[in-house]
Copies of this chain bind each other. A is one copy, B any other.
Amino acid sequence: MEDGARKPKQDAANLDMIVTPWEVKGVIDYDRLIKDFGTQPIDEAILSRMKNLAGGLHFMLRRGFFFSHRDFDLILERCEKGAPWALYTGRGPSGQTTLGHVSPWIFTKYLQDVFNIDLYFQLTDDEKFLYQRELSLQDVEKLTYENALDVLAIGFDPKKTHLISDIRMSRDMRELSLEVAKRVTFSTVRAVFGFTNETNIGMIYHPAVQAAPCFLPSRIAKMDVPTLIPCAIDQDPYWRIARDVAPRMGYHKPSGVYCKFFPGLGEGGKMSSSEPETAIYTTDDPNVARRKVMNAYTGGRPTIEEQRRLGANPDVCTVFWSLYFLFEPDDEKIQDLRESCKAGEILCGECKTNLAEKVVTFLEEHQKRREQAKKIVESTFI
């Protein structure tokens, strides 16, 4: 296994931080995560190469929403040379899609648009079925369909986008997952994921299924097509397994580009589909979403007078971070907002109304595209 390929441990200094593929809790220390997981920070050299290639930098890179990587430079090198590569990302269909899920997909679509390449999108319905006692196969299959509509509504090129359902599993996926599974022992998945003797045997096999799409583009094309995986950093343990077996299977190690956790609308914590009051779902009625935004936790003061006098704190404000990471790509506007907030020139109500309008516009558009996606969704699965 690679350096850093170990389960993040809790210690006295960080008792509150838990980051696994199934649980993200506490105040997240991203520098610490980079160290624990053994990934690389996205540095100036990477940003500069990306800027040259893309003719500019996406605001999610400029603002450090995507903050860490593994071998992203090898993918940039392929871009510079015109060598093929592919995008791979996914979603565990445990509920309706939230803005937290959507945010890295928007960056993924940007990469697809800029580099004009194929995207393999895995819906890990097997994992959700196996992990969540209360979910039936029928439940997760329904959610796979619902989530797939959201993926397509993002606007990915349907001709270059290939959805994977782990339950429907294609022959290629089955063979690749067997090739991975043959090379991974219980010791390894226990060390990487913290599995125990009580873990069910489906969960134990699943890392092979999640690793398989890393190699699918090469298998389909019958040539080297390494993958870049844009996703939240909690998924990195899976890519350690994939990177570990890749050379033994005759493939390139997959590269990753990792984002932070998109904030929920409550105090602290990521947007979670299991907390409906502080999460905005793509299927929310726009008026419901507006109400959630208007109830969001902000960095405001107890009274208007105090806020005018002392200013507010954008750094702890879920409205500010939603704009910063997703809804306000204009750097000048976001900088102005930040300063007005700190100076007490703008009040929370105004800021919430601003975000709510953007959210409502997004949802109206998204829901229209979501309806249209129903016509093509089945043919997009491989």
Given the known A-B contacts A174-B169, A182-B129, are A198 and B187 also in contact in the complex, defined by CB atoms under 8 Å?
Answer: yes
B contact residues around A207 at 8 Å (CB): 201
Q: Is A199 an interface residue (CB 8 A)?
A: yes
Q: Is A56 an interface residue (CB 8 A)?
A: no
Residue contact B186 to A204, C-beta cutoff 8 Å = yes
Q: Is A189 an interface residue (CB 8 A)?
A: yes
Which positions 160-194 of chain A face chain B at CB distance < 8 Å?
167-169, 171, 174-175, 178-179, 181-187, 189-190
Rounded to whole angstroms, the CA-CA distance of A278 and B164 in the bound complex is 48
Residue contact B190 to A197, C-beta cutoff 8 Å = yes
Q: Is A143 an interface residue (CB 8 A)?
A: no
B contact residues around A196 at 8 Å (CB): 186
Q: Is A202 an interface residue (CB 8 A)?
A: yes
Given the known A-B contacts A178-B130, A178-B167, A179-B137, are A208 and B201 also in contact in the complex, defined by CB atoms under 8 Å?
Answer: yes
Rounded to whole angstroms, the CA-CA distance of A44 and B171 in the bound complex is 47
Residue contact A201 to B189, C-beta cutoff 8 Å = yes
Interface majority SS on A: helix, strand, loop or mixed?
Answer: helix
Rounded to whole angstroms, the CA-CA distance of A201 and B206 in the bound complex is 9
In the complex formed, the residue of B with least CB distance to A141 is B175
Residue contact A197 to B187, C-beta cutoff 8 Å = yes
Q: Is A59 an interface residue (CB 8 A)?
A: no
Given the known A-B contacts A186-B195, A197-B185, are A175 and B137 also in contact in the complex, defined by CB atoms under 8 Å?
Answer: yes
B contact residues around A169 at 8 Å (CB): 169, 174
Rounded to whole angstroms, the CA-CA distance of A183 and B189 in the bound complex is 19
Given the known A-B contacts A167-B174, A167-B175, A205-B205, are A130 and B182 also in contact in the complex, defined by CB atoms under 8 Å?
Answer: yes
Q: Is A200 an interface residue (CB 8 A)?
A: yes
Q: Is A126 an interface residue (CB 8 A)?
A: yes
Residue contact A201 to B197, C-beta cutoff 8 Å = no
B contact residues around A208 at 8 Å (CB): 201-202
CB proximity of A276 to chain B, nearest CB, Å: 26
Residue total for A at the interface (Cβ-Cβ under 8 A): 33
In the complex formed, the residue of B with least CB distance to A137 is B175
CB proximity of A188 to chain B, nearest CB, Å: 8
Most-contacted residue by chain B among A137, A199, A202 (CB, 10 A): A202
Which positions 192-229 of chain A face chain B at CB distance < 8 Å?
195-202, 204-205, 207-208
Contact of A197 among B137, B167, B183, B186 (CB under 8 A): B186
B contact residues around A179 at 8 Å (CB): 137
Contact of A205 among B168, B185, B197, B202 (CB under 8 A): B202
Residue contact A205 to B201, C-beta cutoff 8 Å = yes
Residue contact A200 to B171, C-beta cutoff 8 Å = no
Residue contact B185 to A201, C-beta cutoff 8 Å = yes
B contact residues around A175 at 8 Å (CB): 137, 167
Contact of A201 among B126, B168, B171, B204 (CB under 8 A): B204
Rounded to whole angstroms, the CA-CA distance of A14 and B197 in the bound complex is 30
B contact residues around A199 at 8 Å (CB): 185-186
Q: Please encode chain A, from 250 to 272, with 1 for each CB lying within 8 Å of some chain B CB and 0 for all others.
A: 00000000000000000000000
In the complex formed, the residue of B with least CB distance to A174 is B169
CB proximity of A7 to chain B, nearest CB, Å: 15
In the complex formed, the residue of B with least CB distance to A136 is B179
B contact residues around A181 at 8 Å (CB): 130, 200-202, 205
